[in-house]
A and B are shown apart, each in its own frame.
Chain A
Amino acid sequence: MSRSIKTRSLIDQTVTVLCVLSTALAIVPLFSVLYYVASRGLGGVNLAFFTELPAPVGEVGGGAANAIVGSLELVGLACLIGIPPGILAGVYLAEYGNSKLGQLVRFSADVMAGVPSITVGLFIYAIVVLQTGHFSAYAGGLSLAIIMLPTVTRTTEELLRLVPEALREAALGLGVSKWRTTVSILLRTALPGVATGIMLAIARVFGETAPLLFTSFSNRYWSDSLNEPTASLPVQIFTYAVSPYEDWHRQAWAAALLLVVFVLLLNVSARLLVRPRV
C-alpha cells in the first residue's frame, strides 16, 4: 500500500457514509408510502366504507363492503386450497426429499415461486374461467393458492429440518411409527414456525392484484355465490386509482390503508412469533 494512512481511512469513511446513505435512501420510500397511505386513507375510512356498496359512477359516497368481504373470501379459499397440499409437500421434502424426485420437486417449487403472478392468472383463466364460462371467486382463490403453494412448501420443509434430531430418534426409539412421529412430534414442534410462514404467505396474496384481474374479475355488487365474479380490495384500488374521479381516489386510499394495515400486522406478528434471525 503506497497510500498514506490518512487517505486510506478517508476512503474507509467515505464508503461507510455511502452505505449509510444507501440504507437511508432505501428506507425513505417505505416511510413515504406509509405516510401517504395513512394521511390520505384516514379521510376515506368511515362507517359507510365498511358497510356500503360502491356508489354508482359519478356519485359521491358509498363504500367497499363487497370488496372487503370478497378479499376475505378469496384469501380464505386460497388458504383452503393452498395450505394443506403445501404442508404435505413440505413434509415429503423434509422426510423423503433426498431423492431425485425430491430434488425435482424442490426445483419446481423454486421455479413456481419465481413465476410472475400475472401468468398464473393467464393459466387459471385458460383452465377454469374458459371452461366454466365465467369469472368466479373459485378461479381467483385457485390462482392465489398457486402463488402460496411454493412458499408454504419450502417453509414447512425448512422448519421440519430444524427440529432437533433427538426428538425424532426418541420417538422412533419408543416404537412410534414414522408417520405418527412426523405428524404428532415433528410437525407439532415446528408449528409456530410453519404458522409464521403461512402468515407471511397470506400477507403476500392479500395484496395480489394481477392474477385476480381475469380470474375473480370485479363486481360492483354483492356476489351471491363463490361461483360469480367477486370484488376484491386490490382490484378495487387499481380501478379507482386510474379513474378520473376525486371521490374514487379517496376510496382507493382508504382501501390501501386497510390493505397496508392488514399486511403490516401480519408481518409484525410473524416477526414477534419467531425470534429475529439477524
Chain B
Amino acid sequence: MTALSTELHPPSEGPLVSTRAPSQVNWGDRVFKVTTAGFAVLIIVTIVAMVLQMSVSAKLSLREFGWGFLTSTDWNPVIGSFGALPFIYGTVVSSLLALAIAVPVSIGVALYLSEMAPEAVRGPLAFSVELLAAVPSVVYGLWGIFALAPLMRDHVEPALRAVFGFLPFFQGPNQGFGLLTGSVVLAIMITPTITSVSREVFRAIPRTFREAALALGATRWESIRTGVLPIARPGLVGAAILGLGRALGETMAVTMLIGNRPEISASLFAPSYTMASVIANEFTEATEDLYLAALAEIGLLLFAVTILLNLVARLLVWRVSASPGGRS
C-alpha cells in the first residue's frame, strides 16, 4: 500500500481536497469538460475540412471531365488532357499484387507467433516484425533502388520469365523498375500491419476452442484449422483490407520503384504509375489550375477509397473481437 499512497499524493499547488459545499457547481469541471470536448471536436472538424477542401481543390477537374476522368487513359498536361485510368490501374494492380504476396506470409507469421513459436522467441520475433513498420518509406525506396531493383532485374524476373514466360504478365524486358518491384516493396511494408491485426484476431479466440480439438486427438494444425481459422476468417479479411488501405496510400517507396510511366501494360515487369506517386511527382511542377485540380481529384479519390476500406476493415475485425464465441 505504501507504493500506492505515493501515487496518490502528487505535488500540488493548491489544496487538493475541495472545501466547497457539495451542492456548489464545480466550474473547474465544467471548463475542463468543455475544453477537452473542444479538442475532441477538432478531430471531426479536421476530417470534414479535409473532405471539403479536397473537393473544392478538385472542382475544376470534376466539372471539366466528369466521370470520364476515371476511364480516360490520356494524361497529357501539355494539351490539358487528363485521365486517371493509368494511375488507378497502377494503384489497384500493385496493391492487389502486394496483398497476394503479403497475406499468406503475414498469416503464416501470425500463426507461428501466436500458436507455435516457443515462448522465448515470440517477443524478439514480434518486435522485429514491428520494426519493419518503423522503417521510413523513403528508406525502403532507397534500399529498393540499390538492392531490390537489381535483384529483381537480374534474378527474380528472369526466373519468372523462364517458368511462366508463356503468360503475358511475365513478358517484356526485365528492367528492375516496374509494377512487380513496386508490389514487392509494398508487400514488405504492409506485412507488419496484416501480421499484427491477425495476431490480435487469433488472440481474441478463446483457448478452449483449440483445446477441445486437441482433446479429441487432433494435431496442432487440425486444431487450428477447425478451432481457430473458421472463427478468425472475418477478422483476417479485415486485416487484409487494412493492409490494402495502407498499400493504396503508400507513396514514397512505390514512387521510387514503380518506374513512373502512365501506361497500362499487361506485363508486370513494365513501368507503371500510381495515384499517390503522380501527386508526389507532379504536384509541385503543375502550374495550370486544371492540372492542379486533376491531381487534387486523384487525391480526393484516394482519400475516399481509403476511408471506405478502413471502415469495412474495422467492422470486420470488430466482429471477431466483439463476439469471442464467433459463429460457433
Contact = CB atoms under 8 A, between A and B. Distances in A.
B299 A238 contact: no
Contact of A105 (B41, B107, B146, B311): B41
A196 interface: no
B215 interface: no
A104 interface: yes
A85 B163 CA distance: 56
Contact of A19 (B53, B112, B222): B112
Interface string A6-21: 0011011001101111
A112 B7 CA distance: 35
Given A27-B129, A112-B43, A203-B134, A122 B299 contact: yes
Given A88-B39, A174-B17, A179-B32, A26 B105 contact: yes
Interface stretch (B81-89, B153-161, B248-256): B248-256
Contact of A209 (B39, B50, B138): B138
Nearest to B253: A209
| Most-contacted residue by chain A among B12, B109, B314 (CB, 10 A) | B109
Given A18-B108, A22-B112, A123-B50, A214 B221 contact: no
Contacts of B221: 11-12, 15-16
Nearest to B10: A184
B109 A23 contact: yes
A217 interface: yes
A253 to B, nearest CB: 7
A175 B18 contact: yes
Contacts of B123: 276, 278
A21 B104 CA distance: 11
B136 to A, nearest CB: 2
Contact of A238 (B16, B132, B141, B307): B141
Interface string B30-65: 011101111111111011011001101100000000
Interface string A161-198: 00000010011001111111010110011000000000
Contacts of B46: 108, 112, 146, 149
B219 A122 contact: no
B interface, how many residues as a size bin? 35 or more
Given A36-B143, A88-B36, A119-B299, A12 B222 contact: yes
Nearest to A266: B134
Contacts of B122: 278
Interface in B154-205: 188, 191, 195
Interface residues of A, number: 100
Looking at chain A's contact residues, is the secondary structure mostly helix, strand, loop, or mixed?
A: helix
Contact of B106 (A26, A89, A123): A26
A210 interface: yes
Interface in B113-145: 113, 116-117, 122-123, 125-132, 134-143, 145
Interface of B: 4, 7-8, 10, 12, 16-18, 26, 28-29, 31-33, 35-44, 46-47, 49-50, 53-54, 56-57, 104-109, 111-113, 116-117, 122-123, 125-132, 134-143, 145-147, 188, 191, 195, 219-222, 224, 242, 245-246, 248-252, 256, 276, 279-280, 283-284, 295-296, 299-300, 302-303, 306-307, 309-311, 314
